[in-house]
Each structure stands twice: as C-alpha cells, then as structure tokens.
C-alpha cells in the first residue's frame, strides 16, 4: 500500500485531489497536512505525528501558510533521510521563477494545477499512472516500525 502525503491548504483542492486519487486507485493511503510547519512535523514524525507513516510520495503546494512550500522543499531535500522521497510540486503558479527555484531545490518535477476541473482530475490520474504505477519508487525503510 502506497502512502501519499498531500501538503495543501486549499480545502477545495484537497477534496478534488482526494476524490481524484480515490477514482484512480482506492488502495492509496492519502494523508493531508494544511501548512508547511505541520508538513515538517509529519515528515519528522514529531509530536502528534509521532506515528505517521513515511510517505512514498509527496505532493507539495508552493503557497502555504506558516511555512511556505519552497522552504518545505528545501528542508526535505537537505535532509539525508527525507531527500529520497519523490517530491512533486503541484501549485497554481506557472511563473518561471517558481519553476526554476523548485528545480534548483531538487523538486522531482513541477506541475501547474489546471483551472478546469476535468483537467485537474485528469492530471491527478496521470500522476497516479506515472509516479505511482510506472515509476520505481525507493523502498521506504520504516526505521524499526512496521
């Protein structure tokens, strides 16, 4: 069973993504955090997230409250332990500056959220088909926990 961590603050987009993943593959365990600070707590398995599963894949919005997505990305990719988790930017911005920054920070890829609902659903499906089906993901060692 794959675990996907969605780091996204907009409630409507959370719902859309959840529904689209459910359509695409019911077996995916989708976890959601709504800001950058909670994202790091989840990934570091601290506090309330002490028993959080290690995600196989991360979908990260750039514009987040408390700690911006670019900072989260930087933290993930600087962390010896976390940097192997494929991290895909999924954001409304299509600004060159944001795309460049994300790749400089070693995002695995960058996706712009489509405005049309059907396209958004199509995109999530294609993320699932590509990243969660075709792509080989690193085995996530669970550090002693099952």
- Residue numbers at the binding site for other proteins (CB under 8 A): 9-17, 34, 63, 65-66, 92-95, 98, 113-117, 120
By C-beta, is 22 or 66 nearer to other proteins? 66
By C-beta, is 16 or 56 nearer to other proteins? 16
| Shortest distance, position 121 Cβ to other proteins, whole Å | 10
Query: Quick check: helix, strand or coil at residue 63?
Result: coil
User: How far, in whole angstroms, is CA 107 from its chain's centroid?
Assistant: 10
| Shortest distance, position 22 Cβ to other proteins, whole Å | 14
| Shortest distance, position 118 Cβ to other proteins, whole Å | 10
Query: Quick check: helix, strand or coil at residue 114?
Result: coil
For residues 61 and 70, the answer to whether their CB atoms sit within 8 Å is no
Of 76, 56, 4, the closest CA to residue 33 belongs to 4
By C-beta, is 94 or 129 nearer to other proteins? 94
In the block, residue with structure tokens 């991360």: 58
| Shortest distance, position 93 Cβ to other proteins, whole Å | 4
Give the C-alpha separation, 43 to 21, whole Å: 21
Query: Quick check: helix, strand or coil at residue 29?
Result: strand
By C-beta, is 34 or 88 nearer to other proteins? 34
């Amino acid at each position: 069973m794959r675990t996907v961590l969605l780091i996204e603050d907009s409630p409507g987009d959370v719902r859309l993504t959840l529904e689209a993943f459910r359509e695409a593959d019911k077996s995916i365990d989708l976890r959601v955090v709504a800001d950058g600070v909670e994202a790091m707590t989840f990934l570091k398995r601290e506090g309330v997230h002490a028993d959080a599963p290690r995600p196989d894949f991360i979908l990260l919005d750039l514009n987040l409250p408390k700690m911006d997505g670019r900072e989260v990305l930087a933290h993930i990719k600087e962390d010896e332990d976390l940097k192997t988790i494929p991290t895909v930017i999924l954001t409304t911005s299509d600004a060159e500056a944001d795309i460049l920054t994300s790749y400089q920070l070693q995002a695995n890829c960058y996706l712009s959220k489509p405005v049309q609902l059907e396209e958004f659903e199509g995109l999530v499906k294609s993320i699932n088909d590509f990243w969660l089906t075709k792509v080989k993901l690193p085995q996530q060692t669970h550090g002693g926990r099952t």
